[in-house]
Structure formats: C-alpha cells, structure tokens
Structure 1
Amino acid sequence: MINLTNEQDFNELINKPTIVMFTAGWCPDCHFIQPALPEIEAVHDDYQFVSVDRDAFMDLAVQYDVMGIPSFVAFNEGRETGRFVSRDRKTKEEINQFIESL
C-alpha cells in the first residue's frame, strides 16, 4: 500500500485503477482491517492501493465527502468509480466484494 505523503501525488495516483483507503491513526476499525490488507491487495493486483490519513489530508476528505473512516473509494482516469462507506466495521469479504463489483 502506498502511503500518501503530499496532495500533489494524489491526482497522479488516481489516474490509474486505484483503491484509496481513507484512514486515521486513532481509528479502531482501521486497525481491525489492517492485517487483511496485504491479502486484499494480492487478490486485486490490477489496482494500486493508497492509504490517505484523513486528518493529515482533510482537504481531500472534504473534497471527496469522506467523513467516516475507514472509507474505500475507487478511482480510474482521475474519476471516482465507486465507494464503500458504512458505519459498520468492514470485513475482508465485504471489501473484496466491493472491489469485485467495480
């Protein structure tokens, strides 16, 4: 997973098929799914995965209307192609289903 370090890189990254995970260090549900992410990435190797700390990149979170975390937003060619946002803790199976539905 690529950790976003500056906002300028974001626009370049989302030109390719990309799954962006908006997260935060204090988020227990983000930590819950963390161990499953390498397996999810391996299954969906046609996407690059980018982690965006919502607190560090609040302007991006506001721009893409991301308030709850973790949120998964898919992009391709600079456009949003789907999102998986819910109040419930996300499972590996749910994330895989979201990606497969794109």
Structure 2
Amino acid sequence: MIIPKNIEELASYAEKGKNVFFFTADWCGDCSFIKPQMPEIEADFPQFNFIQVDRDQYIDVAAEWSIFGIPSFVVTNDGEELGRLVNKNRKTKEEISGFLKMVEG
C-alpha cells in the first residue's frame, strides 16, 4: 500500500498507471474493519497499485472526487476513472474483490 506524502505525489498516481485509491480515515470504524484484509486483496490484484488516501488529509481531493462515504475505492488507468465503490457501507473482502474483478474486465 502506497501512502502519498503530499498532494503532488498523490496527483502523480492519479495521472498514470493502474491504481486503486483507497479512501480512509483513522477514526473510521469500517475502514479499520477492512484494513487488515487489504494486503490479501492487494496480493490478489498485483496489476494495480494500491494508494491509501487519508480523507481528512486530502479533504479537497475527496470532495473533488465526490467521496462522501468511507471506506471507498476509485480505480483509474492513466488518469481515466474505470469504476468506483463509493458508499457509506462497511465493505467486505469479497465485495471489494468482486468490484475489482468487474472493473478489470
């Protein structure tokens, strides 16, 4: 999991490569629920870079990307959005994996 140090680094991932942006926050219980399973999800989808985005640190990005619930996932390829799993519900490993398989085509 890549954790960007600043907005410039985050922007560089948004522009190129196959990326999964994982919007989260320290205080988010549902985020804490899924975080221990993220290494397994990452291992199952090595074609993607997984970028953890702290919603509070990057609140402007979250607003610009219409991230109103966390945890949320946005998949991009060279700057083009391929899909999103954005809602206020708790996510399961199976739900996230199914979403990534669908986006992957």
TM-score normalised by the chain length of structure 2: 0.93
Per-residue CA deviation, residues 12-59 of structure 1 (Å, 9 max, x unaligned), is: 112100000000000000000011100000000000000000000011
Runs of at least 5 residues in structure 2 that lack an aligned partner in the other structure: none
Structure 1 runs (4+) greater than 3 angstroms displaced? none
CA distance in structure 2 between the aligned counterparts of 1:19 and 1:69, rounded to whole angstroms: 14
Identity %: 44
CA distance in structure 1 between the aligned counterparts of 2:81 and 2:23, rounded to whole angstroms: 14
CA distance in structure 1 between the aligned counterparts of 2:29 and 2:73, rounded to whole angstroms: 16
Aligned residues: 102
SS of residue matched to 2:8 = helix
Aligned to 2:89: 88
The alignment's C-alpha RMSD in Å is 0.8
1:19 aligns with 2:20: yes
Q: 1:67 Cα deviation (Å)?
A: 1.2
CA distance in structure 2 between the aligned counterparts of 1:86 and 1:67, rounded to whole angstroms: 7
Tell me, yes or no, if the aligned pair for 1:11 and 1:78 is still in contact at 8 Å: no
CA distance in structure 2 between the aligned counterparts of 1:99 and 1:32, rounded to whole angstroms: 19
Deviates further, 36-45 or 75-84: 75-84
TM-score normalised by the chain length of structure 1: 0.96
Aligned to 2:3: 3
